[in-house]
Chain A
Amino acid sequence: MNALFSLVAIIVIIAAAFLGASVPHLDFLFGVVFPYAAITVFLTGIVYRVIKWSTSPVPFHIPTVAGQQKSLPWIKDSPLESPHNTWGVVGRMALEILFFRSLFRNTKMEMKNGPKLVYGSSKYLWLGAIVFHWSMLIIVLRHLRLFMQPIPSFVLGLDSLDGFFQVGLPGLYITDVLILSALTFLILRRLTVRRIRYISLAADYFPLFLLFSIAATGVLMRYFFRIDLVNVKELAVGLFSFHPVVPQGTGVLFYVHLFLVCTLLVYFPFSKLMHMPGIFLSPTRNLANNSRMKRHVNPWNHPVRVHTYEEYEDEYREKMKEAGLPLDKE
């Protein structure tokens, strides 16, 4: 049901772009108005949510670590698994963000031969996730050739690296194969593994379907139903330099691709895709495990009225002297 709902939503979006962009003059809406609106929603949405997150205190010092904390000099600590200073935290975060380290540690639990409980490592989710995310990053960076004029040389370098195999014309990009395979795997995982299907919501399927349709329309445009790329670049550079133009005869498929991307941008701040900024703000990852060296004060703490020992002594000095008790101050 959830999957079906998301599928229908995607089909409606694609149909809307197909019909809309074929109507004369509506291409300005799809080519200029929607992209500007989508970028605005994307940026303000993310800024709003991150600022909102930053207003919640972190009451407890809660790094979740997988290694020995730094303590006595003769106990070997693990500075990346259980960092005690900022550099350690930066290293740990980098491993998490670039290589999904904690997902790499994913385990599975299975019943084998009757009542035997077996734990094992399970790397498939990690593999699918890392292949998808890196492919997407490289594809977006490669797209800069359509957005920037003159084209920065690193974009061209990335392009020739990605087209390394020189298969076909226009040349096949490795990342195109990888992103579609990874997304197919991630979708099938939700659909076929019963436990995961049970907990999957429409909000889990929708981003997968959306990303798949973006990649699929991109691939269709490049290898099967080609569009006019010079027009696309004129449109894109026009958008970015605030001189919007809508060249004629670009091809409807391009507008479908673009509308899906706009949908992604608008959907982003309202959805689980906010894990992108969220990973940076995870207290279980971004705090140093230094609770034995530094006192973490709960910012929520109400200022407590305390009675210090000095004040106590001042109050009872005479009585304590009479009773012969030792005093800090005479």
Chain B
Amino acid sequence: MYDSGKIIAGLVIFIGLFTSPFWYDLASGTALQTPDLVLPTKADQKQCVASLEFMRRDHMALLNDWRTQVVRDGITYYKSANGKEFEMRYTKTCLGCHTNTSQFCDQCHNYIGVTLYCLDCHNMPATQIQGPMAAKILNPNSEILNKLQIQN
């Protein structure tokens, strides 16, 4: 083997970089912690607007769709598969049951690294905000609050 010092150093660096997720997860200690969701407990809040499987995969597309229907088409009610009607409003309908965003939405979003920027501009009724956004919005000096003059 020629230049064995350089070859071995190079291989060690390469293997170290490629296997870094192994070292990282083995060392992290919290790697096996999965999202811990607090679900609504009331009997009439047991059925979401769509199936669990659909919501887990496609809730963001559903919300986007609701936005389009409400804002552009003026349709405000959504009929779910079992025939129940829901008002297409994130704050009222979604957060009506999932009242604490930090124990629900943020759990998975943080786990897979999804950063929402909706609330950077849009606001929610203050009583329904309990996630990390709460401090940002409820703070009386908050830029968002001043700009939008939320009344609640």
* A contact residues vs B (CB 8 Å cutoff): 42-43, 46-47, 50-51, 54-58, 144-152, 155-156, 159-160, 166, 168-170, 226-230, 232-234, 236-238, 240-243, 249, 251, 277, 280, 299
In whole Å, how far is A246's beta carbon from the nearest beta carbon of chain B?
A: 14
- Once the chains bind, are B35 and A241 in contact (CB under 8 Å)? no
Q: Which residues of B contact A160 (CB under 8 A)?
A: 115
Q: 1/0 per residue B109-122: CB within 8 Å of A?
A: 00111110100000
Picked from B15, B63, B111, the residue with its CB within 8 Å of the CB of A43 is B15
Asked if residues A237 and B32 are in contact (CB atoms below 8 Å), the reply is yes
Determine if B25 is an interface residue (Cβ-Cβ < 8 Å): yes
Contact A144/B108 with A150-B30, A227-B57 known, Cβ cut-off 8 Å = no
Find out whether the CB atom of A230 lies under 8 angstroms from the CB atom of B32.
Answer: no
- Is A237 within 8 A of B31, CB to CB? yes
With both beta carbons as reference points, the residue of chain A lying nearest to B24 in the complex is identified as A148
What residues of B have a CB within 8 angstroms of the CB of A150 in the complex?
28, 30
Return the chain A residue nearest B27 by Cβ.
Answer: A241
Chain A residues with CB under 8 A of B30: 149-150
* B142 nearest CB across to chain A (Å): 22
Render B8-34 as a binary contact track against A, CB cut-off 8 A, 1 for contact.
Answer: 001100110011011011101011111
Contacts beyond the supplied A54-B7, A166-B117, A230-B112: 5 A-B pairs with Cβ under 8 Å: A50-B7, A145-B112, A228-B53, A241-B31, A249-B53
| Interface SS, B side | helix
Interface size on B, residues (CB 8 A): 38
Nearest chain A CB to B68's CB is how many angstroms away? 10
- Report chain B residues within 8 Å CB of A47: 11, 15
Q: Which residues of chain A come closer than 8 Å to B113, judged between CB atoms?
A: 145, 151, 155-156, 159
Most A CB contacts (10 A, CB to CB) among B56, B57, B117 go to B57
Interface status of B41 (Cβ within 8 A of chain A)? no
Chain B residues near A241: list those with CB within 8 A. Answer: 22, 25-26, 31-32
A159 touches B115 (CB 8 A): yes
- Whether B4 is near chain A, meaning CB under 8 Å from some CB there, is yes
